[in-house]
Structure 1
Amino acid sequence: MRIIYLGLAVPNMDHYHNMFTELVAEFRDNGHDIMVVAPSYAPNIEGLQIEDGVPVLRVPTMKMFRVGKIQKGLATLLLPYQYKRALKKAKIDLNFDLVMMPTPPITLVTVASWIKRKYGAKMYLVLRDIFPQNAVDLQMMSAKSPVYSYFRKKEKEMYQTSDYIGCMSPGNIAYVKTHNPEQDASKLHLLPNWSPLHPNLEQTEINNIKEQYGLSDKFIVMFGGNIGKPQKMENIVALAKSCAAIKDIFFFIIGGGNEKQHLQQLILEEKLDNVEVKDYLTREEYFKVLQIADVGLISLSEDFTIPNIPSKSLVYFNAKVPILASIDVNTDFGPHIEEIGAGLWAEAGKTEVLKEKLMQLYHNPEKRREMGENGYNHFKSSLLVSMAYKNIMSQVNVK
């Protein structure tokens, strides 16, 4: 099958893979002719090239990450026109069987529609972010603004254009159905997040890493990944402050993002000496360091009205780390981790309840071990990239 993947967050696949490019590689490994269209990652990188055995058309675009709202919005609007121009310039044969695109961004549906009309390709939507509602929830956009109206219309067009829509959770499916009743609900199916399985360290290696970071005598509560408004890091700072008197509990935060400086300022203002913030590590190094954690933290803003499933849970599962989640009441992630026995959760903003859940884990090492194993077994049985590939292929009806 010939597939074109229209992406945004596509690293140089010769050096690094993320969740989406791992799926691309899985299609490649299963014998499909797949190519990727994505922004350039450096000023001198553009045009068609081969990355990890996959043809990738790199397109010069405006900067889209760690920029202001106006620039990001303009860059998002320009993206489909830049992709179409690049495809024409490179003289790409557009006779594809399947167009795949994830969200974000929703504007690439313009390119997908163009290819569908031209050659009758099918379209598979990997629905992750539900935009523009997530921007409204985070007060980055007003639901009464013309900008919202434009993007909401584009969102509906995206659902209409799609032949198949893979949603992160049952809550995601229910949300899309409820808020888009005019759409064909039979397009929707469950496509959980995915990852390859990585080998875990021996206990001796874990102890060595603890010693390396000076944390041998600490109970480590770790957060890794993006530090932005969706993560509402104020809730983690509040938890750390509530635990300040328990001298062996240490909060270890690894990552970066638009709110990192604000997070560091909060830590200074509260004079917390039980929190350390480190820059991003390589994916391999982060997975090793994560295994020293006694608890893995997940934080989502209480303002979300849409069900989000944090992708960072995958690496926690793989590392056998029990999860403590501070999340909104609209996501079904909390009930899910309780159902599989992989962690505990509290409503975001309710620090005392979250601390109580942390104390349950702090005082019960056997419970932590059991939850870590449960998450690991769930990951192996349901969330591998090979399973996501088979799930998609079971839905796609392409001649």
Structure 2
Amino acid sequence: MNILFITTAFPEDLNGHSNIYVDLMNEFKRNGHSVYVITARERRYKKPTEYINVDGLNILKVRTGNVHKTNFIEKGIATILIEYQYIRAINKYFNEVKFDLIIYATPPINFVKVIKFLKIRDKAKTYLLLKDIFPQNAVDLGIIKKNGILYKYYRKKEIELYKISDYIGCMSPKNVEYVIQHNSYLDPKRVEVCPNSIKISKYEIVDESLKAEIRKKYQLPVNSKIFVYGGNLGKPQGIDFLLDIIMANSKREDVFFLIVGSGTEYKRVEKFINENKIENAKIYPYMKQKEYNNLLKGCDAGLVFLDKRFTIPNFPSRILSYMEVGLPIIAATDKNTDLKDIIREGNFGFWCESGDLESFNKIIDLIIKDDELRKTMGFNARRYLEENYSVEDTYKIIMHHFNE
């Protein structure tokens, strides 16, 4: 089959960089499909539209505005224009290619015209990977008003996207439940769990000497328990609570907070650590996936944060990297995500509500005092990953609809 993946989140540089979408497209390629990707090349890179082949993936990078890690106004304008930019690029570069299956992921939700165009042109089947429930998430964070002009515009786009999708793959059972409950026009048989997943690497047991070597390389303390947060630093993460945690534990010598990532709140976190002269916290900018995974091997627990105001059940993909190297997870989120239920089911970490500093600090103390518990939960995390979040399984979930 000719597969087209429409996204804005394919890495600009695939050398050492990967994500859930790169792994999934490589899995399609491994199974004998011809894979095409159309992705955004954001204005910040100062490069033109380009069509390249990388390790058998045909990638069309379309010059667009900045759609990630920017302010809401710039992001809004860029996502409105992106449909027209993609259609123009498809006509120029993919005019001779007939696609059998179109896969696309949110965010953004502004792909309706592109998908309609290809469904009519190629009579292709369509599969939505729903990673973001917008515009409700923006309402939850107070960015836009419920029933305001912007909400109505984006809600209309969301409904159109769902209607044009032959199947909708959601990140978790709560996501499926939410989508069906709030979109009664959908046939429930078209909505299913299709979780975030990765190509899982061989498990490496990290002994104390290797851990010490990694910590020395990154100038991290050898004798402290290191709690790592890796990923986006933006409004959805509720960064205020992360800063509260760092400040509340700033005098401790047995705790160290390591932050790795990028986003609109990066400078704020960096400034907070520097201005308060916090010695048991360090922030690094976004790393290549291979280097980041190696760094994680020197840590003791992985952190997940989500804003407590969310009414939609988010499910952060960053847990997969933690689980791959066998780290237990500490999640501080809203009450609506089923991440907390899955962590408990797999017994691979702890959950508390975002903002509950007392509960979070009790979890930190438990991780520090009980090495056996930490190691057992880390082992459970790796096992749960292998059993539930392998890219091979995600491929099968999608393709069983089209192999009949």
Q: In which range does the TM-score fall when normalised by the shorter chain?
A: over 0.9
Q: Using the TM superposition, give the Cα deviation of residue 91 of structure 1 relative to its aligned residue in structure 2, in angstroms.
A: 4.9
Aligned partner of 1:10 in structure 2 is 10
Q: Using the TM superposition, give the Cα deviation of residue 377 of structure 1 relative to its aligned residue in structure 2, in angstroms.
A: 0.5
Give the letter for the 2:311 counterpart: T
The equivalent position to 1:96 in structure 2, one of 94, 99, 118, is 99
Q: Work out the CA distance in 2 between the residues paired with 1:217 and 1:150.
A: 53
Question: Secondary structure of the residue that 2:363 maps to in structure 1?
Answer: helix
Q: Using the TM superposition, give the Cα deviation of residue 271 of structure 1 relative to its aligned residue in structure 2, in angstroms.
A: 4.6
Question: Secondary structure of the residue that 2:241 maps to in structure 1?
Answer: helix
Residue 71 of structure 2 contacts residue 264 of structure 2 at CA under 8 Å; is this kept in 1? no
Change (3 A) 1:288 1:110: same
| Corresponding position: 1:341 with 2:347 | yes
Residue 14 of structure 1 contacts residue 52 of structure 1 at CA under 8 Å; is this kept in 2? no
Aligned partner of 2:158 in structure 1 is 155
Residue 195 of structure 2 contacts residue 394 of structure 2 at CA under 8 Å; is this kept in 1? yes
Aligned partner of 1:38 in structure 2 is 39
Task: After TM superposition, list the pairs within 5 Å mapping 1:240-319 onto structure 2.
Answer: 240-268=246-274, 270-319=276-325
| Corresponding position: 1:172 with 2:175 | yes
Aligned partner of 1:21 in structure 2 is 22
Q: Work out the CA distance in 1 between the residues paired with 2:83 and 2:403.
A: 25
282-291 or 266-275: bigger deviation: 266-275
Aligned partner of 1:188 in structure 2 is 191
40-49 or 346-355: bigger deviation: 40-49
Q: Work out the CA distance in 2 between the residues paired with 1:201 and 1:43.
A: 42
| Corresponding position: 1:206 with 2:211 | yes
Aligned residue pairs, count:
398
Change (3 A) 1:138 1:306: same
The equivalent position to 1:227 in structure 2, one of 221, 224, 233, is 233
Give the letter for the 1:67 counterpart: T
Give the letter for the 2:49 counterpart: E
Question: Secondary structure of the residue that 1:281 maps to in structure 2?
Answer: coil
Q: Work out the CA distance in 1 between the residues paired with 2:403 and 2:225.
A: 52
| Corresponding position: 1:352 with 2:358 | yes
Q: Work out the CA distance in 2 between the residues paired with 1:351 and 1:366.
A: 24
Residue 125 of structure 1 contacts residue 166 of structure 1 at CA under 8 Å; is this kept in 2? yes
Question: Secondary structure of the residue that 2:110 maps to in structure 1?
Answer: helix
Q: Work out the CA distance in 2 between the residues paired with 1:187 and 1:324.
A: 33
Residue 13 of structure 1 contacts residue 52 of structure 1 at CA under 8 Å; is this kept in 2? no
Q: Work out the CA distance in 1 between the residues paired with 2:63 and 2:312.
A: 32
Residue 330 of structure 2 contacts residue 350 of structure 2 at CA under 8 Å; is this kept in 1? yes
Question: Secondary structure of the residue that 1:107 maps to in structure 2?
Answer: coil
Deviations 1:152-187 (A, max 9, x none): 001011111111111000010011011111211111
Q: Work out the CA distance in 1 between the residues paired with 2:222 and 2:94.
A: 58
Deviations 1:166-210 (A, max 9, x none): 100001001101111121111111111101122436423222112
Residue 13 of structure 1 contacts residue 51 of structure 1 at CA under 8 Å; is this kept in 2? no
Give the letter for the 2:35 counterpart: I
Q: Work out the CA distance in 1 between the residues paired with 2:157 and 2:368.
A: 47
Give the letter for the 2:351 counterpart: W
Q: Work out the CA distance in 1 between the residues paired with 2:262 and 2:14.
A: 23
| Corresponding position: 1:62 with 2:65 | yes
TM-score by length of 2: 0.94
Question: Secondary structure of the residue that 2:332 maps to in structure 1?
Answer: strand
Q: Using the TM superposition, give the Cα deviation of residue 382 of structure 1 relative to its aligned residue in structure 2, in angstroms.
A: 1.5
Residue 48 of structure 1 contacts residue 55 of structure 1 at CA under 8 Å; is this kept in 2? yes
Q: Work out the CA distance in 1 between the residues paired with 2:12 and 2:283.
A: 26
| Corresponding position: 1:329 with 2:335 | yes
Give the letter for the 1:174 counterpart: E
Give the letter for the 1:288 counterpart: N
Residue 209 of structure 1 contacts residue 292 of structure 1 at CA under 8 Å; is this kept in 2? yes
Can you give the 5+ residue segments of structure 2 that lack an aligned partner in the other structure?
none
Residue 234 of structure 1 contacts residue 263 of structure 1 at CA under 8 Å; is this kept in 2? no
Q: Work out the CA distance in 2 between the residues paired with 1:220 and 1:137.
A: 32
Aligned partner of 1:77 in structure 2 is 80
Aligned partner of 1:138 in structure 2 is 141
RMSD between superposed Cα atoms in Å: 1.7
Change (3 A) 1:248 1:14: closer
Question: Secondary structure of the residue that 2:64 maps to in structure 1?
Answer: coil
Q: Work out the CA distance in 1 between the residues paired with 2:257 and 2:375.
A: 19
Change (3 A) 1:214 1:169: closer
Q: Work out the CA distance in 1 between the residues paired with 2:220 and 2:164.
A: 54
Change (3 A) 1:221 1:147: same
Residue 29 of structure 2 contacts residue 57 of structure 2 at CA under 8 Å; is this kept in 1? yes
Q: Work out the CA distance in 2 between the residues paired with 1:281 and 1:137.
A: 30
